[in-house]
Structure 1
Amino acid sequence: MSTPTAGGQPLPIASTGLGIAPSGPAPTGPALTEPVPAETQQTVSMTASTPGIAPSPSRYDRPDGFWASYGRLWSRAPIEAGVLFIAFPLAVIAMSVLWSVFSTGLGLLVLIAGFFLVLAALYVARGYGTLTLTLLEAAGRPRIARPVWDRKVGTGFLGRVFGPFANGHYWLYLLDAMVVQVALTTVTWGILITWASVAFGGVTYWIWAGFLPRDGQEVWLSQVIWEWATHSSATFDPLAGDVVLYGVTGVIFLFTLPFVTRGLISLHWVVARGFLGSWQTDALRREVSELSESRAAAVAAEDRELRRLERDIHDGPQQQLIRLRMDIAAAQRRLREDPEATNRLLDEAGTRAQDALDELRALSRGFAPPILQDRGLAAALESLAARSVVPVTVVNRLDELPPSSKPTVPSEVERNLYFVAAELLTNVAKHANATSARLELAVDGSFLALVVADDGTGGATENGHGLSGIRERVTAMRGTTQLTSGPNGTTLRISVPLS
């Protein structure tokens, strides 16, 4: 297929963030039964719109009993301890480099070199901050939204160069790397080392206690604590007392070690979210940009549809009606001279009138097909599939949902998806050289997904056979499209929000 058939994560369905995997009886055709080789597969992301999705809770935080939760804490403790351990030397290295580069740059600001040294310090701070966020994610903490970095001051080369100086995130990253992280990691690294040393040293003290020199030792910690707590002399063996004391203390510290690592890594996460995360204004600015893009795409799509409709009316019904008028005029002139020829002309005029009526009915589907208004999107898609020249299998996963879970699809979403599916199925018939196709409708949370795949020759591109128009229509709905095209077929997946 040179273009897909319509398009939230068996046949090669393009992978997206919705995670809807098609199932059910697979139609015939190689692309619907065999995966597309990765080396020959083209994937084109056709929109930049990415609806914000809040990070889901970690699977280690599910409340299902103390000991199960405690076991999950221990499963993450080694990774958390490793991140906390390497955070301190990384912070020291970053602080040393940045203080040197930044201070040197400030001293040389009167020269051009100083300007570029300060700029380099900002980029190094950004890289170190990004590494910090990556380490926190590796430790199991929720992902922190990244800032917007591509802010420019003016246009052209100077706008890109001066952009970091006008972006507050760069300066926050610099402050975090030069001051905050060193102070934070010094404290957390010291607590971690102390806690781990007491824990593992205490529980193993009974092994190596006998190898320590005891000549002249008069003070034993177990005796001191006993005499202070009971106000009486200790009569037990001091070495055995110390072994028990250190062992109990080690067990307590070892038991609480995963709580300590989780608390320390969470402290790092809170600080990183404040200094290294995006701001609410970034989300608002991104929202405004996406709305502007959606509005522009909607205007372009509407203009193109109007031009297409005008062209179709001009080339179809208008020409039929002009010919009809000419036939009627000719019939009127021959009415008395040649009645038989007049009858033939009137028969032809009636045929042309019926053809014009059929074409007008077909064009009216471009506004609102009756079946879509009366029976909904699923029935309209089945009607499209039934009229398709290429055999199409329709999979409606909305019917698999319980009645209480079925979403209410807005009428404008249904109408736009119907038009997208109609155009893509037409393209399959014209350009794909396909023997079969598959159309799937599914829902995931607040997103509705339409997937169309065929087993044609592939080779579809974003700008080919009307796909750019489909992208604009989907962008106008604040949706996303993903195209996958290879030698075994083409798949287009479209995901749009339900509200």
Structure 2
Amino acid sequence: MSTDTAATAVATPTPSARPSRWAGYGSLWRRVPQELGFLLLTMPIAIIGLSIVAPLFWTGIGSLVLVFGIFIVIASLYVSRGFGVLELVRLRWSGRPAIRQPLWRPRTDGAGFWGTFIFGPVADGHYWLYLLHTMIISPIISIVSWTVTVVWVSIGLGGISFWIWARYIPMGDREFWVHDVVLDWMFPGNTWQFDSMAGEIVFEFILGVLFLITLPFVTRSLTLMHQGVARGLLGGWRSEELRREVADLSASRGAAVAAEDRSLRRLERDIHDGPQQRLVRLQMDLAAAERRLDTDPEAAKTLLAEARLQAHDTLEELRALSRGFAPPILQDRGLVSALDSLATRSPVPVRLESTLGTELRLPGEIERSAYFVAAELVTNAVKHAGATSIRLVISTRGDSVTDADSGAGSVAAAAASVPQWLDLWVIDDGIGGAATVDGHGLSGLEERLTGLRGVLVIDSPVGGPTTIGAHIPLPGEGAALS
């Protein structure tokens, strides 16, 4: 049994370790293929959307005097929603951070099929914003961004390759050369004389290099323009996010209450069926031994031996039950030391792998819940999985640096990030087949983690191995070092 504990510390980057400007520029180039793919498809998709939605919408408007006109308008709203969702997906594929979609719940919930799916979109402002984006906004900005992208790429690639294909262009008695016009404008009155074709090739090459050098900035700016428009028209509203947050908090609170109630009920049942029954028998054995102490010392001795065995078994059961609570070592020395003690006491070899320092102290409720989850998972692996070895892995991770933060400061930003998640994994080589069943252990753990707004991930194919991960969000201020 081994414990691999490696403390990690975040140090301020030294000047020699700070990224150069070229590193930030290189990060821009890495996104260019994705951004070009996004930008070059913008106008075709926008024209297709306009060609489909506009006839539908105006036909529906013109047919409102007839009954079926409203259904054509509603169809145009649904089609607009499809093109808007496609825009959000394409932005995510281009490397931009995902934009949260609206809550597509009609305001007429409970009104049946007609109120929900037919007339619901009419009362939802998001559908009309998606229609506005598909019919007007997207075609306008797509034509602009597509034109700038095509011109920029054409000038860049055409300029650096002009010396290859210029010889195949019939020049005739050409008298107009672009480089002459530029040089005369920059240096009026000059009398320079050199080969016109050579000057044009050099000029085109320099121009192409300049356009290619600035291409990442152009593609990034145009993609950000599309993202800004999409965030304003296609993203969810702040009020919806608050409503979703309230719903999540309510669900978390309900799950936490249910998990605590289930834990208390299970503890009550375990105490009643285990230690309490043993203590009753212990009391009876001691009373019988007391009665026979004078008349039958040998029988009294036998009863006392049985009482001692009962006391030992009761103590072991109480120790097993106490593993579900916070042990003193958790409060005194922290989560890593408590998990190390848990691994040492396990009847099956447990290897603890931690990237947390022993001095790292997390909020009390986080440490208690993490210890309880780890103890429960290790106990399940010992009792039900038939495992011969168990790995207990614990670490923290910070928020990932988004592409918007990439550039010269990305490395420094990543180094300065604070832990935002506590990750705890229990991996065993048992028989597998673990799943959440209502009223059983894993379901209770899932409810406990939901109460902390965490996530339980289970990967347990039949035959094993079993990998169960508990991911617990940390407070915004991060972990406190004592």
Shorter-chain TM range is 0.7 to 0.9
Instruction: Give, in whole Å, the separation in 2 of the partners of 1:224 and 1:185.
Output: 33
Cα distance, 1:369 vs structure 2: 2.0
* One of 189, 200, 206 as aligned partner of 2:146: 189
1:190 is paired with a residue whose SS is: helix
* Alignment partner, residue 479 of structure 2: none
* One of 454, 460, 464 as aligned partner of 2:434: 460
Asked if the contact 1:227/1:233 (under 8 Å) is kept, the reply is yes
User: Structure 1-normalised TM-score?
Assistant: 0.73
The reply to whether residue 392 of structure 1 matches residue 350 of structure 2 is yes
Cα distance, 1:453 vs structure 2: 0.8
Q: What letter corresponds to residue 378 of structure 2 in structure 1?
A: L
Cα distance, 1:491 vs structure 2: 0.7
Instruction: Give, in whole Å, the separation in 2 of the partners of 1:407 and 1:151.
Output: 44
The reply to whether residue 128 of structure 1 matches residue 83 of structure 2 is yes
1:394 is paired with a residue whose SS is: strand
The Cα offsets for residues 214-235 of structure 1, whole Å up to 9 and x where unpaired, read as 67x8887777788888887989
Cα distance, 1:490 vs structure 2: 0.5
2:384 is paired with a residue whose SS is: helix
Name the CA shift for 1:249/1:382 in 2 (closer, same or farther; >3 Å).
closer
The Cα offsets for residues 383-431 of structure 1, whole Å up to 9 and x where unpaired, read as 32233232222222214xxx8xx64312222212222222222222222
Q: Note the 1:91-110 alignment, pairs <5 A.
A: 91-108=46-63
Asked if the contact 1:98/1:121 (under 8 Å) is kept, the reply is yes
Asked if the contact 1:149/1:167 (under 8 Å) is kept, the reply is no
The reply to whether residue 498 of structure 1 matches residue 469 of structure 2 is no
* Alignment partner, residue 294 of structure 1: 252
Q: What letter corresponds to residue 471 of structure 2 in structure 1?
A: S
Asked if the contact 2:286/2:303 (under 8 Å) is kept, the reply is yes
The reply to whether residue 274 of structure 1 matches residue 232 of structure 2 is yes
The reply to whether residue 174 of structure 1 matches residue 148 of structure 2 is no
The reply to whether residue 64 of structure 1 matches residue 23 of structure 2 is no
Q: What letter corresponds to residue 394 of structure 2 in structure 1?
A: L
* One of 368, 371, 377 as aligned partner of 2:335: 377
Asked if the contact 1:209/1:243 (under 8 Å) is kept, the reply is no
* One of 105, 118, 121 as aligned partner of 1:151: 105
Q: What letter corresponds to residue 65 of structure 1 in structure 2?
A: R
Cα distance, 1:184 vs structure 2: 0.9
* Alignment partner, residue 411 of structure 2: none
The reply to whether residue 410 of structure 1 matches residue 363 of structure 2 is yes
Q: What letter corresponds to residue 416 of structure 1 in structure 2?
A: S
Cα distance, 1:94 vs structure 2: 0.3
Asked if the contact 2:103/2:240 (under 8 Å) is kept, the reply is no
Instruction: Give, in whole Å, the separation in 2 of the partners of 1:370 and 1:139.
Output: 51
Q: What letter corresponds to residue 436 of structure 2 in structure 1?
A: E
Name the CA shift for 1:482/1:213 in 2 (closer, same or farther; >3 Å).
same
* Long gaps (5+) in structure 1: 1-22, 26-61
Q: What letter corresponds to residue 370 of structure 1 in structure 2?
A: P
Name the CA shift for 1:94/1:324 in 2 (closer, same or farther; >3 Å).
same
Asked if the contact 2:323/2:375 (under 8 Å) is kept, the reply is no
Instruction: Give, in whole Å, the separation in 2 of the partners of 1:333 and 1:235.
Output: 128
Identity score, percent? 49
Instruction: Give, in whole Å, the separation in 1 of the partners of 2:290 and 2:188.
Output: 132
Instruction: Give, in whole Å, the separation in 2 of the partners of 1:290 and 1:304.
Output: 21
Instruction: Give, in whole Å, the separation in 2 of the partners of 1:477 and 1:361.
Output: 26
Could you tell which deviates more after superposition, 474-483 or 98-107?
98-107
The Cα offsets for residues 350-370 of structure 1, whole Å up to 9 and x where unpaired, read as 654565455445444443322
Name the CA shift for 1:129/1:210 in 2 (closer, same or farther; >3 Å).
same
* One of 455, 468, 474 as aligned partner of 1:480: 455
Q: What letter corresponds to residue 363 of structure 2 in structure 1?
A: P
The reply to whether residue 420 of structure 1 matches residue 376 of structure 2 is no
Cα distance, 1:149 vs structure 2: 3.5
Q: What letter corresponds to residue 20 of structure 2 in structure 1?
A: D
Instruction: Give, in whole Å, the separation in 1 of the partners of 2:31 and 2:309.
Output: 78
The Cα offsets for residues 185-244 of structure 1, whole Å up to 9 and x where unpaired, read as 2222333344455555666667648955767x8887777788888887989699669948
Name the CA shift for 1:201/1:164 in 2 (closer, same or farther; >3 Å).
same
* Alignment partner, residue 261 of structure 1: 219
Asked if the contact 1:394/1:439 (under 8 Å) is kept, the reply is yes
Instruction: Give, in whole Å, the separation in 2 of the partners of 1:82 and 1:238.
Output: 39
Cα distance, 1:467 vs structure 2: 1.1
Instruction: Give, in whole Å, the separation in 1 of the partners of 2:257 and 2:378.
Output: 24
Q: How many residue pairs get matched? A: 433
Q: Note the 1:14-413 alignment, pairs <5 A.
A: 64-65=20-21, 69-70=24-25, 73=28, 76-77=31-32, 79-108=34-63, 113-140=68-95, 142-153=96-107, 154-155=109-110, 157-158=112-113, 160-161=116-117, 163-197=120-154, 208=166, 211-212=169-170, 243=200, 247=204, 253=211, 255-327=213-285, 348=306, 352=310, 355-356=313-314, 359-360=317-318, 362-399=320-357, 407-413=360-366
Asked if the contact 1:88/1:185 (under 8 Å) is kept, the reply is yes
User: Structure 2-normalised TM-score?
Assistant: 0.75
* Greater relative contact order (Cα < 8 A, sep 6+): 1
Instruction: Give, in whole Å, the separation in 2 of the partners of 1:69 and 1:124.
Output: 40
Name the CA shift for 1:115/1:364 in 2 (closer, same or farther; >3 Å).
same
Name the CA shift for 1:340/1:205 in 2 (closer, same or farther; >3 Å).
closer
Instruction: Give, in whole Å, the separation in 1 of the partners of 2:123 and 2:436.
Output: 35
Name the CA shift for 1:289/1:226 in 2 (closer, same or farther; >3 Å).
closer
Asked if the contact 1:448/1:498 (under 8 Å) is kept, the reply is yes
Name the CA shift for 1:336/1:184 in 2 (closer, same or farther; >3 Å).
same
Cα distance, 1:379 vs structure 2: 2.5
Cα distance, 1:328 vs structure 2: 5.5
2:347 is paired with a residue whose SS is: coil
Could you tell which deviates more after superposition, 203-212 or 301-310?
203-212
The Cα offsets for residues 121-145 of structure 1, whole Å up to 9 and x where unpaired, read as 23322222232233334444x2232
Instruction: Give, in whole Å, the separation in 2 of the partners of 1:367 and 1:223.
Output: 85
Q: What letter corresponds to residue 272 of structure 1 in structure 2?
A: A
* Long gaps (5+) in structure 2: 6-17, 398-418, 476-482
